[in-house]
Homo-oligomer: A and B are copies of this chain.
Amino acid sequence: MSADFHRELGLIIGASRVLVAADDVAPFCTDWRGRYSGNALCVALPGSTEEVAAVVRACVAAGVAVVPQGGNTGLCGGATPTGGEVVVSLRRMNRIRAVDADNNSITVEAGCTLHAVQEAAREADRLFPLSLAAEGSATIGGNLSTNAGGVQVLRYGNARELTLGLEVVLADGRIWNGLRALRKDNTGYDLKHLFIGAEGTLGLITAATLKLFPRPRTHATAWVAVPDPASAVRLLGRLRDAAGDNVTAFEIVGRPALELVLRHIPNARDPLLGKPAWQVLIELGGSSDMGGDLSATLERALEAAAEDGIVNDAVLATSEAQTAALWALRENVSEAQKIEGISIKHDIAVPVSCIAEFIARADAALRAAFPEVRIVCFGHIGDGNLHYNQSRSDAQSNDEFIAQTGAVNRIVHDLVHGLGGSISAEHGLGQLKREEVLRYKSQTEMDLMRAVKQALDPRGLMNPGKLLSKVGAGALHADPASL
Contacts and interface: CB of A to CB of B under 8 A. Distances in A.
A124 to B, nearest CB: 11
Given A184-B422, A429-B188, A483-B57, A300 B289 contact: yes
B187 A194 contact: no
Interface string A421-459: 111111111000100010011101100110111111011
A189 to B, nearest CB: 5
Given A352-B104, A452-B455, A198 B187 contact: no
B214 A483 contact: no
B353 A425 contact: no
B477 A426 contact: no
Contacts of A246: 244, 287, 290
B189 A198 contact: yes
A183 interface: yes
Most chain B C-beta atoms within 10 Å of own C-beta, residue among A183, A237, A427: A183
Interface residues of A, number: 112
Most chain B C-beta atoms within 10 Å of own C-beta, residue among A181, A301, A350, A425: A181
Interface stretch (A167-175, A324-332, A370-378): A167-175
A8 to B, nearest CB: 13
A311 to B, nearest CB: 16
Contact of A189 (B153, B233, B452): B452
A463 interface: no
B467 A188 contact: yes
Interface in A339-382: 349-354, 380
Contacts of A423: 187
A147 B244 contact: no
Interface string A145-184: 0110100011001101100000000111111111011111
Contact of A480 (B57, B161, B237, B420): B57
Interface in A96-119: 100-105
A290 B420 contact: no
Contact of A176 (B170, B172, B444): B444
A481 interface: yes
A3 interface: no
A297 interface: yes
Contact of A197 (B160, B186, B480): B186
A16 interface: no
A317 interface: no
Interface in A230-289: 233-234, 237, 240-246, 286-289
B180 A420 contact: yes
A423 B191 CA distance: 17
A394 interface: no
Nearest to A380: B184
A293 interface: yes
Given A233-B102, A297-B289, A449-B188, A384 B57 contact: no
Contact of A182 (B175, B187, B300, B384): B384
A354 B103 CA distance: 8
B147 A425 contact: no
Contacts of A241: 214, 287-289
A74 to B, nearest CB: 11
A354 B289 CA distance: 27
Contact of A384 (B103, B300, B480): B103
Contact of A187 (B60, B181, B437, B480): B437
A184 B445 contact: no
Contacts of A380: 184
A87 interface: no
Interface string A397-422: 00000000000000000000000111
Given A103-B351, A182-B425, 13 more contacts: A61-B480, A102-B233, A102-B237, A102-B351, A103-B384, A184-B383, A184-B422, A188-B449, A243-B290, A245-B245, A289-B301, A452-B452, A452-B455
Which 10 pairs from chain A and chain B are nearest by CB?
A: A193-B193, A455-B455, A244-B287, A102-B353, A185-B422, A184-B425, A242-B289, A103-B351, A183-B383, A103-B353
28 contacts: A101-B237, A102-B234, A104-B352, A149-B186, A158-B184, A161-B161, A170-B448, A170-B476, A173-B480, A177-B442, A183-B385, A184-B385, A186-B425, A187-B424, A187-B429, A188-B429, A188-B441, A189-B202, A189-B453, A190-B193, A190-B196, A194-B194, A214-B240, A214-B241, A242-B287, A244-B245, A286-B290, A289-B297
